Amino acid sequence: MAEKSVNITVFGKVQGVGFRYHTRKAAQRFGVNGFVKNQVNGTVYVEAEGDELAVELFCEWCKKGPDWARVDRATICDAGVKDYSGFEIR
């Protein structure tokens, strides 16, 4: 059962740069479950949950993203746990 759950919206040059793929790889590396998807307004939306430390580390990664993306800012809000299994790209 996850201890911490967050909703993250990432702003910047985050579409068309493999951001979702690398977000999934980061989530798997940190042991975080949830999903990532592009939004019509050009942002990327993430729901992530897991061990508190894992989620914190994942959030820090999301604030930077992969090297070729440009993250201007990321908003992170606590959320209710939904018990995701795995991490998917939507």
Q: Which of 7, 29, 33, 38 is catalytic?
A: 38
7 as an active site residue: the answer is: no
Q: For each successive 10 residues of the chain (90 residues), what is the average pLDDT?
A: 90 96 98 98 98 97 94 97 96
Domains along the sequence of the chain with CATH: 4-85 (3.30.70.100)
Rounded distance between C-alpha atoms, residue 31 and residue 55, angstroms:
8
pLDDT of residue 49: 97
pLDDT of residue 2: 66
pLDDT of residue 1: 58
| pTM recorded for the entire structure | 0.95
- Check: CB of residue 5 under 8 Å from CB of residue 79: yes
Q: Which of 7, 20, 70, 90 is catalytic?
A: 20
Rounded distance between C-alpha atoms, residue 43 and residue 55, angstroms:
20
20 as an active site residue: the answer is: yes
- Check: CB of residue 88 under 8 Å from CB of residue 35: yes
